[in-house]
A and B are shown apart, each in its own frame.
Chain A
Amino acid sequence: MNRIVLIAGILITIALVVVLAAGLGKDPQHIDSQLIGKEAPDFALKAVGTGETIDLTQFRGKPLVVNFWATWCRPCYEEHPVLVANAQMMQGQVQFLGVVFQDKEEKIQQFLNERGTAYPTLVDMGGKTAIAYGVGGVPETFFLNKNGKVVAKFEGPIDPDTLQQNVRKAMTQ
Chain B
Amino acid sequence: MKKLLLLLAFATTLFAQGVKVPDAEQFVGPPKGQPVTGALLDEQANQTAGLLRCPVCQGMSVADSPSEMAVNMKHQVRDLIARGYTQEQILRYFERSYGQFVLLKPKFQGVNTLVWILPIVALAVGIFAIFSMMGKGGSQPVDEPPASAADEDPYLAEVRKLTGKQS
Q: Which A residues are closer than 8 A to B by beta carbons?
A: 1, 4-5, 8, 12, 28-29, 31-32, 34-35, 41-46, 53, 55, 101-102, 124-137
Closest residue on chain A to residue B17 by CB atoms: A46
A43 and B21 contact, CB distance less than 8 A: yes
B98 and A31 contact, CB distance less than 8 A: yes
Closest residue on chain A to residue B26 by CB atoms: A41
Within the complex, which residue of A12, A124, A128, A136 is in contact with B98, where a contact is CB–CB below 8 Å?
A136
B133 and A137 contact, CB distance less than 8 A: no
CB distance from B93 to the nearest CB of A (A): 9
A32 and B22 contact, CB distance less than 8 A: no
Q: Which residues of A contact B26 (CB under 8 A)?
A: 41-42
Within the complex, which residue of A1, A29, A42, A101 is in contact with B22, where a contact is CB–CB below 8 Å?
A42
B97 and A131 contact, CB distance less than 8 A: yes
Seed contacts A44-B19, A128-B22; 20 additional CB < 8 Å A-B pairs: A1-B129, A12-B122, A28-B58, A31-B55, A31-B98, A32-B101, A34-B95, A34-B96, A34-B97, A34-B98, A42-B22, A43-B22, A44-B20, A46-B17, A102-B72, A126-B10, A128-B76, A132-B21, A132-B27, A137-B56
CB distance from B4 to the nearest CB of A (A): 15
A127 and B72 contact, CB distance less than 8 A: yes
B97 and A8 contact, CB distance less than 8 A: no
Kindly state the separation between the CA atoms of A149 and B94 in the bound complex, as whole angstroms: 19
A53 and B19 contact, CB distance less than 8 A: yes
B75 and A126 contact, CB distance less than 8 A: yes
Kindly state the separation between the CA atoms of A81 and B114 in the bound complex, as whole angstroms: 46
Kindly state the separation between the CA atoms of A135 and B20 in the bound complex, as whole angstroms: 18
Closest residue on chain B to residue A137 by CB atoms: B56
Cβ of B18 under 8 Å from chain A: yes
CB distance from B123 to the nearest CB of A (A): 12
7 closest Cβ contacts across the A-B interface?
A132-B22, A41-B22, A136-B55, A134-B97, A127-B72, A44-B20, A128-B21
Q: Which residues of A contact B58 (CB under 8 A)?
A: 28
Closest residue on chain A to residue B21 by CB atoms: A128
A45 and B19 in contact, given A1-B133, A8-B125 (Cβ under 8 angstroms): yes
Report 9 cross-chain contacts, Cβ distance below 8 Å, ordered by A residue.
A1-B129, A12-B122, A29-B56, A42-B26, A43-B21, A126-B72, A126-B75, A134-B99, A136-B69
A43 and B97 contact, CB distance less than 8 A: no
A5 and B99 in contact, given A41-B22, A128-B21, A136-B55 (Cβ under 8 angstroms): no
Kindly state the separation between the CA atoms of A44 and B133 in the bound complex, as whole angstroms: 69
